[in-house]
Structure 1
Amino acid sequence: MSLELSVSQWLNGPPPLLAGRPLFLYAFQMLCPLCVEEGTPMMNTLHASGVTVVGLHTVFENHEAQTPSALAGYVARAGIRFPVGVDRHDGTDDAPVTMRRLLLMGTPSIVSVSRKGAIRERLFGVPPQEALRKRFAKL
């Protein structure tokens, strides 16, 4: 399976061309406690150290509170510098398109993507940062 995102808009600009570079897709919700307390700070640190991170705000609950404008405030407050896409809803389900397509169990989720764009692993939760660095090195 290869990475195919369905995004309605981007914050921090769209990601650069991703072909040829490994990356982590970080699926989160701004009202998810584990995302706010652990996931986002860790992904910020990884991104600052040179790991390619692309965020995906994938809302499957509390839709009315997690709007793109509220997300923009969260991105600024949390110091997120990597691109963040808003996972598109198609009206068929509470879960957005990319979340369903990638079979993500919830948030936070981290998807490892190889240089060739192939999905290598889907992680639910927040693994230790060193474990993620090792996974990234293998991509």
Structure 2
Amino acid sequence: MDRLETAGSAYPAPELDVTQWFGGETSLQQLRGRVVMIEAFQMLCPGCLSYGLPQAQRVRKQFPEVAVIGVHTVFEHHEVTGPEALKVFLGEFGILFPVGVDRHDGQRIPVTMRAYELEGTPSTILIDRAGNLRFTHLGALPELQLGAMLGELQAEPA
């Protein structure tokens, strides 16, 4: 879905299926009425460290009305990326938005990652005020493009 879908072509965003929260538990239902940006990442992912998470941090600061959430969605290196390591990682990197740990159900790809049909990390997801999935993107996302999309979603009626 690598473009901003029109409101009429969007569909309800799947709820996040996480096993643990860091920085405050939240749900998409609780955030209805706000634009939501989800950054799906793995702490050992070079792209997540170099541009995905830093960009999410900038959005959190520059667009305080947008709810920014992280989803740690691990599909490799499970033995070294558990919740205790994630807690240290979030502190070391100063991640201040809520981060949920995507649930595993025995399959290689975690539940939320499958529900959003993500192809890898980092992935950026945008959800409109009505709770509809409007955009997903794998990899680096140009700042101007992201800012324009956030502005467009903010300008839509709730």
Larger mean CA deviation between 74-83 and 44-53 belongs to 44-53
* Equivalent residue in structure 2 for 1:129, among 135, 143, 150: 143
Give the whole-Å Cα distance in 1 for the aligned partners of 2:55 and 2:34.
Answer: 20
Taking the aligned partners of 2:19 and 2:35, their CA distance within structure 1 comes to 23
Q: Hey, what's the Cα distance between the residues in 2 that align with 1:117 and 1:69?
A: 31
Kindly indicate whether the alpha-carbon contact (under 8 Å) linking 1:27 and 1:55 is maintained by their aligned counterparts in 2. yes
Q: CA RMSD in A?
A: 1.1
What's the counterpart of residue 12 of structure 2?
2
Q: Which runs of 4+ in 1 moved over 6 A?
A: none
SS of alignment partner, residue 69 of structure 1: helix
Q: Which SS does the other structure have where 1:105 is aligned?
A: coil
| Structure 1 gap segments, 5+ residues each | none
1:23 CA displacement: 1.1
Q: TM-score, normalised by structure 2?
A: 0.84
Match of 1:13 among 10, 21, 24: 24
Q: TM-score, normalised by structure 1?
A: 0.95
Identity over aligned pairs, percent? 44
Q: Is the 8 A contact 1:23 1:136 kept in 2?
A: no
Determine the C-alpha separation between the residues in 1 that align with 2:57 and 2:99. 12
Q: What's 1:22 paired with?
A: 35
Could you give the per-residue CA deviations for residues 12-66 of structure 1, whole angstroms, max 9, x where no partner exists?
0113721110111110000000001111111111101213211000000011111
In the TM superposition, residue 130 of structure 1 has moved relative to its aligned partner by: 2.0
Structure 2: which amino acid aligns with 1:13? Answer: G
Q: Which residue of 2 aligns with 1:41?
A: 54
8 Å Cα contact 1:87-1:99 kept in structure 2: yes
For structure 2, the 5+ residue unaligned runs are: 1-10, 154-158
Structure 2 equivalent of residue 59 of structure 1: 74
Q: Secondary structure at the match of 1:59?
A: coil
Contact 1:47 1:82 in 2 (8 A): yes
| Whole-Å separation in 1 of the counterparts to 2:96 and 2:51 | 16
